[in-house]
Amino acid sequence: MPTRRQFLVLSSTAALTSLLPDAPASALADVAQPFASYWHPATILNWDPSTDRDAKYNRSSVPLAKRVVPARPANAHAHANEARVQALVAYAPTSGNPAQGALDMNYYATNYWQYIDELVFWGGSASEGLILAPNPTVTDAAHRNGVKVIGNVFLPPTAYGGQIQWVRDFVKREGDRFPVADKMIQVARHYGFDGWFLNQETAGGNAQLAADMRDFIVYMKRSGLRVIWYDAMTDTGSVSWQNALTARNQMFFAPSDEMFLNFWWSAQGLRNSANLATQMGRSPYDLASGVDVESNGYNTGVGWASVFPEGRPHTTSLGFYRPEWTFKSATSPADFYARDNRFWVGQNGDPANTTTTAAWKGIAHHITELTPITKLPFVTNFNTGHGRKFAVGGTVRSTQQWNNLALQDVLPTWRWSVTGTGTKVVPSLDWDDPYDGGTALKITGTPASANDVRLFATSLPLTGSSQFEVVHRTGTGPSRLQAVLRIGDTEEVLDLGGVSGGWRRSVFPLGEHAGTTLTEITLRVLPGGPVTALIGRIGVTDPAMTAPAPPTDIRVEQVSRTNATTVSARLTWTRSPGQIRQYRVYQAGNERIFLGGTTNDAYFVPAIPLTTGETAQIEVEAVTEAFDVSPPARTTVTGTP
């Protein structure tokens, strides 16, 4: 892909040193930190999950959620069931992707999943590895939101260290098998992601190599994995970006699920591409028109009318190269979220109102949002997957910065759509006072009329035992806060009342609506004065009668000293029976300290306060989708020299 890649070349030692600045260089080889997996074609042949000590820490266990179009989409201009969006995202250097988060808030916490269909875990470099598997935290968050995650293969141009022998090794056959493909299939199944993006840009090939690459794709497709082809290699084996679907590259598109078209497309080229795809019996939306936003984000010039012609069906899908610009260009978390909102939703910050003279109107202007909230229970704490602290049930259990997308909740479908006349309230995500996780929903302002803050599009079938719950707090005086549930064609209005001081949990039975479908959750703020409200949790559940069982057989695999007062540790356990959303790890004592969490049955604890010779009691709890919590399972960790 002809764009900048130099940032990808970073040694493993350099990446590790940045994560553990207090660790002596001599200790780096002994550090327990697991990283996402990466290989060259020859080295992946030796991969075995039973001998790879990081393999168990790189597994995602969240199934891909079903998504639907909302009953009342936000934007009448947007099209449903046409163009899709691919996002090619580099979270870290190839050799420096921590498997399960890190003790740092500064991370690209992808959170506008409702507009993304597939996320390609971008990376790869000649000096590190060409085949990169996604880390499980990204897959967990994406799958919870119904988004497929794709690993990346980067066979680089010679200018970036590419070697044609690597391409030959990649597609080498043994009888009727492709050994590298077999390993890539094994990796994807073991780690729980959905397919591979193939980016072959190494010059020096011939027609036979092109035929071998096509056969490689056919072979991989038989496994059921998705394959996305990048427009570079042609039928002669040369590298020649077509910027379209043409007779030169259709041999690769035919067996693939999708093709990412290079950035230099034209309106006529896209129309021709769509027509050729149709002639091949394929959807034109299996073609993604590439847009490079790495340098300029929403200031990038895009031929929007070529992809999304006004008044006509979309021409193709859209592929964003490096939308994490919103994070990398930001000066603070608040700035990142403002930039991310503008990127996906547009200049007005409201997916229902994308009218603007700006060329970049936001993806919400063109593509209808999707919701993964289709089955009970649904509970969200508005947790963005990173934060300055971590709270559990209203009590702060850690003041350490962190990121871990595996713990991210489903966030509001619409950010932010507020109806009403005159001055309106302002919703935002707040990292200062979370209820559970690292973030809460905050609503402030002095509304001149009743304001409806549309939050979640849902498709939840209600039962006789269903209930709605909300945890919130306000300042002094009445909150004038109501929950509005849209059930069929009716609205159920629930008065939440005022809460002076601490958090209050309110529960409303919905049994009278059994057999109907809840399609929308809104918060209504009534006029009458200033409002400051924090909403820590919203849920629709069928309450469980018994708590989940704790995990069993907790094992301490490794303990490593990171500095004089802190150790890290690898923990594994046997899963609890039933559906478990996540496991949370604590250090017991006078104060219970949250150490981290995972959806997995193996977790790397990055920092346990412990001096040499001291022993800490570690507790692991199972947490259900409804946030019911098991009794703790316990083990001990002893500080090493």
Give 16's pLDDT tier (boundaries 50, 70, 90): very low
| Dihedral sign computed on CA atoms, order 243, 245, 250, 254 | positive
Angstrom CA distances, 37 to 14, 52, 137, 184, 190, stand at 17, 10, 13, 11, 12
pLDDT of residue 19: 33
Q: How far apart (Å, rounded) are the C-alpha atoms in residues 619 and 629?
A: 12
- Picking from 285-289, 471-475, 622-626, which range would have the lowest pLDDT averaged per residue? 471-475
Above 50 in pLDDT, residue 118?
Answer: yes
Q: Is residue 225's pLDDT more than 80?
A: yes
What tokens appear for 539 in the block?
Answer: 């849920």
Percent of the chain with pLDDT over 90: 90
Whether the per-residue pLDDT at 15 is higher than 80: the answer is no
For 339-390, how does the pLDDT look when each residue is reduced to its tens digit (9 = 90+)?
A: 999 999 999 999 999 999 999 999 999 999 999 999 999 999 999 999 999 9
Query: What average pLDDT does range 618-629 have in this prediction?
Result: 97
Positive or negative: CA dihedral 306, 312, 316, 320: positive
451-468 mean pLDDT: 97
pLDDT over 60 (residue 321): yes
Residue 183 is given by DSSP the state H
Nearest CA to 119 out of 98, 134, 101 is that of 134
Both tokens assigned to 577: 């029976």
Q: Checking DSSP bridges between strand 504-509 and strand 440-445, what pairing results, if any?
A: unpaired
Q: Find residue 367's DSSP bridge partners.
A: 79
Q: For the stretch 239-259, what's the b/e string if a residue is b when 16 or more beta carbons lie within 10 angstroms of its beta carbon?
A: bbbbbbbbebbbbbbebbbbb
Confidence band, pLDDT 50/70/90 cuts, at residue 17: very low
Find the mean pLDDT for residues 176-199. 98
Identify the pLDDT of residue 263: 97
Residue type, 554: I
Are 493 and 524 in contact by the 8 Å Cβ rule? The answer is: yes
With CA atoms as reference, report the closest residue to 183 among 216, 154, 161.
216
In this model, does residue 37 exceed pLDDT 50? yes
pLDDT band at 474 (very low <50, low <70, confident <90, very high): confident
Question: Is residue 90 pLDDT above 60, yes or no?
Answer: yes
pLDDT above 70 coverage of the chain, percent: 94
Q: What is the mean pLDDT of residues 148-160?
A: 97
Contacts for 354 with CB less than 8 Å, ≥ 6 apart: 75, 77, 345, 346, 348, 361, 362, 364, 365
Of 12 and 297, which is predicted with more confidence? 297
In this prediction, residue 224 has a pLDDT band, given cuts at 50, 70 and 90, of very high
Q: What is the pLDDT of residues 424-448, one digit of tens each?
A: 999 999 999 999 999 999 999 999 9
DSSP summary character for residue 346: -
Tokens 């940045």 belong to 18
What is the model's pLDDT at position 479?
66
pLDDT of residue 32: 82
pLDDT at site 1: 59
In this prediction, residue 7 has a pLDDT band, given cuts at 50, 70 and 90, of very low
Residue 79 burial class via C-beta count within 10 angstroms: exposed 0-12, middle 13-18, buried 19 and up: middle
* CB 257 within 8 Å of CB 224: no
Q: Show the DSSP H helices in 316-416 as ranges.
A: 325-328, 333-345
pLDDT at 24 over 60: no
Cα dihedral 242, 210, 322, 316, rounded to 10, equals 50
pLDDT score, position 9: 29
Query: Beta strand pairing status for 386-387 and 378-380?
Result: unpaired
pLDDT band at 640; cut points 50, 70, 90? confident
| Alpha helices by DSSP H, 346-406 | none
In the structure, what pLDDT confidence band is assigned to residue 208 with cuts at 50, 70 and 90?
Answer: very high
Average pLDDT over residues 8-34: 40
Mean pLDDT over the full length of the chain: 93
Q: Which residue carries 């570690």 as its tokens?
A: 618
Structure tokens of 4?
A: 């900048």
Query: Residues 574-585: what's their mean pLDDT?
Result: 96
Q: Which residues pair with 541 in a beta bridge?
A: 467
What's the CA angle centered on 292, arms 286 and 293, to 5 degrees?
Answer: 120
The whole-angstrom separation of Cα 81 and Cα 85 is 11
Query: What pLDDT, on a 0 to 100 scale, did the predictor assign at position 2?
Result: 52
- Residue 6 is predicted with a pLDDT of 30
Is the pLDDT assigned to residue 18 strictly greater than 50?
no
Q: How far apart are CA 127 and CA 570, in angstroms?
A: 28
Residue whose pair of structure tokens reads 């493993």 in the numeric block: 12
Instruction: State the Cα torsion 327-328-330-333 to the nearest 10°.
Output: 40
Higher confidence at residue 530 or residue 285? 285
- Using an 8 Å Cβ cutoff, are 499 and 479 in contact? yes
pLDDT-derived band at 237, boundaries 50, 70, 90: very high
* pLDDT value at 289 more than 70: yes
